[in-house]
Amino acid sequence: MKDNFPISLRLIKEIHEILLSHGRGSQKKPGAFRTSQNWIGGSRPGNAVYIPPPPDMVMESMGQLEKFLHDDPVKTSLLLKAALAHVQFESIHPFLDGNGRLGRLLITLLLCSEGALSQPLLYLSLYFKSHRVEYYDLLHKVRIDGDWEAWVSFFLQGVEETANQAVNTARQLVELFEADRKKIEGLGKASGSALRLHHALQQSPILTIAKAMELTSVSFPTASNALQHLQGLGIVSQQTKTRRAKVFSYTDYIRILNEGTEPL
């Protein structure tokens, strides 16, 4: 990303267009900065909790944010830059909808573009959601009182907690893969294709027989038999009841990834 897709206003717009291509917000000009006034909280600007800059200032404000992301006029340490950039983006609120989603994603994009992450594995949405009252309160205090220190402290605590959770999840997955591999090896002659499928499931934990064939380069009967073996071992489970286009999932893999993400 750092060499080919530097964070720019163009990239931000393109990502926004993709995020809002379907579902909520799809009718609110995906990929285009707003040309009307929006507000946060309340039913109208008169009783709003916060009113972002007027539409004629959006481009200028986002341009300044883009320069900051590119260390203009001065270089800023990465985590501090991510903390400040998130608040600025949320405060500008440049789109009619989807600002929260994109603002959170911007943190991960920045860490990837600067080389701190090789994969987008650190995503703070759950931390912000779990501490939503404090999150919104601190954003408000920055805007009203300029209390950046409290926000930065909160943000860095979130990075630490999220990183520790990611490490713990990775360890659980490694242990799971090793335990399941040993189960599969006990199948004897049938273990070869089942092990190949097990490896494919680590990259694609939800798949159909057709996808299993594609990932393992085996025939339909071989892929189907391998899935049956893994199902018999309790490693995969069938998610659909129909015979056609059966969908299977790596049960414990999905469970581990979902830990702590239940609705609050």
- List, for residues 164-211, the tens digit of each pLDDT value: 998 999 999 999 999 999 999 999 998 999 999 999 999 999 999 999
Cis peptide before 205 (omega within 30 of 0): no
Structure tokens at 191: 């273990």
CATH code of the domain containing 92: 1.10.3290.10
Structure tokens at 92: 């500008």
pLDDT at position 26: 80
- H/E element holding 11? helix 9-19
Domain count, the chain: 2
Residue 56 lies in domain: 9-119
In a domain, 249, yes or no: yes
In a domain, 138, yes or no: no
In a domain, 99, yes or no: yes
pLDDT at position 23: 80
Domain end (from 88, 119, 150): 119
pLDDT under 70: residue ranges of the chain: 1-5, 243-244, 260-264
In a domain, 48, yes or no: yes
| Three-state SS at 183 | helix
Best CA proximity match to 20, nearest among 38, 32, 36, 8: 32
pLDDT at position 22: 84
pTM of this prediction?
0.80
Domain end (from 81, 101, 119): 119
pLDDT digits (tens, 9 = 90+) for 42-64: 999 999 999 999 999 999 999 99
Best CA proximity match to 235, nearest among 198, 190, 208: 198
pLDDT at position 145: 95
| Three-state SS at 65 | helix
93 vs 100: CA distance, rounded Å: 8
Structure tokens at 230: 């893994």
Domain end (from 67, 92, 119): 119
In a domain, 37, yes or no: yes
In a domain, 87, yes or no: yes
The reply to whether 102 and 201 lie within a common domain is no
